[in-house]
A and B are shown apart, each in its own frame.
Chain A
Amino acid sequence: MTESLKLSVDRRDNFAVIYTEGYINNQGGEEIAEIAYGLIDEGQKVLLLNLAGTKIVNSIGISILIEIIERMIAIKGKLAFCSLTPTIEKTFHIMGLAQYAGIYPDEDAAAAGLAE
């Protein structure tokens, strides 16, 4: 049974990873945005969203993720996603998120990609 979104953050040398577990909807998206904007305010310019624990995203959640991407672009930072389900990855491609944010199969690939 899926409850509200659970989030955790791991700060690395060059980027921070936000781990999600649960449904990314309006509430979940707002929680991600709050954490992401907090990290940006701390000076993080590279963020990785690891969605391994997320099976569902709705359109409101996607619109909030787009806002975070726009914020990252505004500060000339980078945002990437990893460990997406095939359904979510397909959705991100259709919605155009993949044009502005890297999509990687796992965290190692994302770390390598973000380091370039």
Chain B
Amino acid sequence: MPASTLTRTQPPRDLPNRVVAVGNGALWRELVALLEEDAPDTAFLRRAFALFCRGAHATEAAFYRQEKDPNTLHRFCSHGSGEFPEDLSEESLTGETLTAYRPVPLPQGVLLLPATAHEPEAECALLAAALQLQELRARVKRQSFRAKYRGVELEALYDVGLAITRTLELTQLTDEILSRAVSLLDARRGALYQLQGENYQLRQAIGGSAAPRVTAQNEDVAALLRTGRSPQPVEAPEPTDPDLASTLLASARFLAAVPIELDDQPWGLLVVGDKEHRHGVGPFSAADHRTLGLFGHHAAIAIANAQLHQQALEKERLERDMELAAEIQRQLLPEVIPDVPEYALGGWNRPARQVGGDYYDIRPLEDDRLLLVLGDVTGKGMPAALLVSTLHSALRLMVPRLALGPEFLRRLNEHLLEISPVNKFITLVLVDLDIARGRLRYLNAGHNPALLLRRDGAVEALPAGGPPLGLLPDSSYRTAEYAMGVGDLLCLYSDGLTEATTPDDEEFGTERLAQLLDAHRQDTPAAIRATLETTLHRFTAGQPQGDDQTLILLRRDR
């Protein structure tokens, strides 16, 4: 018997004539009724065989069909007391071992009948016809299954497209993409890697273990990806290099992979292994590679969206934090400027960002005294604001307990040196005013000289009496005392005012500030501040404010 015997399924070409000729109508009607039941393959075979045995009055018969091993036919059902072998091989069909039986090839298998018996030719033909019809119906069912599954594939691609807009959590998203790719490609296993530094790190795996990391420079991986990136991927029937296959997916024999790229930059790797068939695994087809490429493209868009969403959330959170910090910092500044009889007083702060590095305070002290504080932390934004908060706390604790003098600043310097980061320091000016006598005790740690505009138009720049705070250990400070007469105006300010620049980088400067103060010295502090603001806006030609601006004005009116 030729080698094709095991798979020959075609019934004799003259079957219809022979069916009509034999006239075994009863068996045919029973087989047709069985076909109409649409029973599963195995049930149909058993019952068709039973009908054949009865119709043909066969005392012994067995039906063999191919199962998992393509070189062997396995006994599927038998009738009578004959000792039919369990399996039939090519040799047993062609050799002398089957002398007691005669094989009759049929669609879906081989019928064994006793060699001595008369062959029920007509009934065999009817059985062959019924099996052939069943086979055709099974083929139609398979085609229908594939057509329906194509619908599932299209739905899946559509769903993954939708997930791009819906799923913004990265792990959930990559899990969805990997699951869909593995199931749609009928892969036995799969993994998704993310590039981190020099390696692809495993994010998720399905269907077994996968390498925790793969070097991005791996030549074999690069070659595998080239296959996936080709616009017309070629069929690759050969198993993937075993080393590479086991490098990526444990136990895999066939691989397909696609890179995930965001803005032409590698982000990761989507790998599937072993295309499943009913009786094993095989390579992925060109269509599979194209589908996988589509998934890689979808994945890239989805991941980019998710990352943008994460960044937006992070930005929103930071903005909320900054707003909260700004609110906290606003609470560090005086809510109300105290009303000091015989003096006009005002204080303002305008940070360049939401939070700033400038600080001021105006508070009455015991013994009819008034404290004015203005400080400036190096830098801007959150780091400067944190040090402002530290300064505020330290002053609140120290002012009631220590006399305002050189020792006060020395201790404050030591405290700030301990807790402030390197390269962060504070310039600070402190004024302790004896309200009734108009006497100023003046402490300046590296800050811009305060301006004292005398009634007669003279301007005194009150110099610093020591270095900034938090800069150098063992710093020493001096106290200066000044008398404030009626009509004198004291101005404490931060360098954000005097260092405001024109578009040509010309600074506003202390001189312009002093001139403006002198020109408007009779105005209320609020009016002077408003004039200064308008002037600065004009001077800077409306450029964004470059630094925090803080101002305290104190004029003795009587």
* A interface list, Cβ under 8 A from B: 1-4, 23, 25-27, 55-60, 62-63, 66-67, 70-71, 73-74, 87, 90-91, 94-96
Bound state CA distance, A91 and B187, in angstroms? 17
Residues of the B chain whose Cβ atoms lie less than 8 Å from the Cβ of A70:
39-40, 43
A59 to B187, CA, bound (A): 10
Give the segment of B204-212, B216-224, B438-446, B452-460 that binds chain A. Answer: B204-212
Shortest distance between the CB of B40 and any CB in chain A (Å):
4
State whether B40 touches A58 (Cβ < 8 A). no
Report the bound CA distance from A16 to B43 in whole Å.
23
Interface contact A95-B152, CB-CB below 8 Å: yes
> Closest CB-CB distance, A78 to chain B, in whole Å?
16
Contact A96 B148 (CB under 8 A): yes
Task: Return 21 A-B CB contacts under 8 Å, by A number.
Answer: A1-B204, A1-B206, A23-B182, A25-B186, A25-B188, A26-B188, A26-B276, A27-B188, A56-B183, A59-B149, A60-B277, A63-B278, A70-B39, A73-B40, A74-B39, A87-B156, A87-B180, A94-B151, A94-B152, A95-B145, A95-B148
Other CB < 8 Å A-B pairs besides A25-B276, A57-B183, 20 of them? Answer: A1-B204, A2-B206, A2-B207, A23-B182, A23-B207, A25-B186, A25-B188, A26-B188, A58-B182, A58-B183, A59-B186, A60-B186, A60-B276, A60-B277, A63-B278, A70-B43, A71-B40, A73-B40, A94-B151, A94-B155
Q: How far is the CA of A71 from the CA of B341 in the complex (A)?
A: 101
Q: Which A residues are CB-close (under 8 A) to B208? A: 3-4
Q: How far is the CA of A58 from the CA of B189 in the complex (A)?
A: 11
A58 touches B39 (CB 8 A): no
Interface residues, chain B, CB within 8 Å of chain A?
Answer: 39-40, 43, 145, 148-149, 151-152, 155-156, 159, 179-180, 182-184, 186-188, 204-210, 276-278
- Chain B residue nearest to A88 in the complex (CB): B183
CB contacts (< 8 Å) of B210 on chain A: these are 1
CA distance A6 to B294 in the complex (A): 31
Q: Which residue of chain A lies nearest to B184 when distances are taken between CB atoms in the complex?
A: A58
Which residue on B lies nearest to A63, using beta carbons?
Answer: B145
Once the chains are docked, how many angstroms separate the CA of A10 from the CA of B327?
61
Of the candidates A56, A60, A87, which one forms a contact with B182 in the assembled complex, judged by CB atoms under 8 Å apart? A56
State the Cβ distance, A37 to closest chain B Cβ, in Å.
Answer: 10
- Which of A55, A67, A74 has the most chain B CB within a 10 Å cutoff? A74
List the A residue with the shortest CB-CB distance to B151.
A94
